[in-house]
Amino acid sequence: FSPGLLVVAGSFAAFRLLNRGVERLVPPPPSARHNRWKWRNIWTSLAHSALADTHNPSPCRFYLHPDLSNDLVGTHPPGAYSLVAVSVGYFLEDFVDMLCNQKLHQSWELLFHHSVVIVCFGIAVLLHQYVGFALVALLVEINSIFLHLRQILLMANLVHTTCYRLNSLINLGTYVVFRIATLAWMTRWLFLNRQNMPPASYAVGTVGMAIMTPMNIILFYRLLRSDFLK
């Protein structure tokens, strides 16, 4: 039994409660009232991204702890373990929310994505190892803020606005830096440190990168086509 599982359970419950009450805080506009669960889901996801980027900002972690980039297995700064455990709780909640409210053919990609993240982050929580590697992965939440804002603006029917256009530019820029480049760096780190890792852990990491990299490249193309090439 790991104490981190209590944090995971508490995080799951907290994000579930937020999901249930977010409509009272941010009522959906008329254009989004036909899909209320999606409105709640996006705002809950935005809350997790904001929490990950402001409460324990990963870039600051690597600046304050330069040794972290050399040892992503056994080294992790204070608070990092809790952040990873909280993120596991969020991804579990989001997985359940989509499973209960969306058809499988519409959500299978995100469900698959969440399954990979839950397994990889769950290993870090249970073993108290690879927390640094999970922190690197959480850098993508910087881009997720603008990705979720894009969905909110779409649901609010604000596509033809300066705000949407500006968000689209920032979204693509942060996507390249904090998703594609981050995944490339993680893949390189795995390759360079393969001899220092147990075969099982290396296999999980390699499979995870092999799944996440093409998924993120495809999503980038979809965003580029939707917002700029049409």
Global pTM reads: 0.91
The number of distinct structural domains making up the chain is 1
Mean pLDDT of the chain: 89
Give the whole-angstrom CA distance, residue 200 versus residue 125.
Answer: 16
Q: Are the CB atoms for 86 and 131 separated by under 8 Å?
A: no
| Per-residue pLDDT band at 58 (split at 50, 70, 90) | low
How many residues are given for the chain? 230
Contacts of 85 (CB under 8 A, 6+ apart): 4, 5, 7, 8, 11, 125
Q: State residue 60's pLDDT score.
A: 60
Return the amino acid letter for 90: Y
pLDDT digits (tens, 9 = 90+) for 136-175: 899 899 999 999 999 999 999 999 999 999 999 999 999 9
> Cα dihedral angle (56, 58, 64, 69), rounded to 10 degrees?
140
Q: 3-state DSSP: the chain helix, strand, coil percent, rounded to 5?
A: 85, 0, 15
pLDDT on residue 117: 94
- Residue span of the structural domain in which 184 resides: 3-229
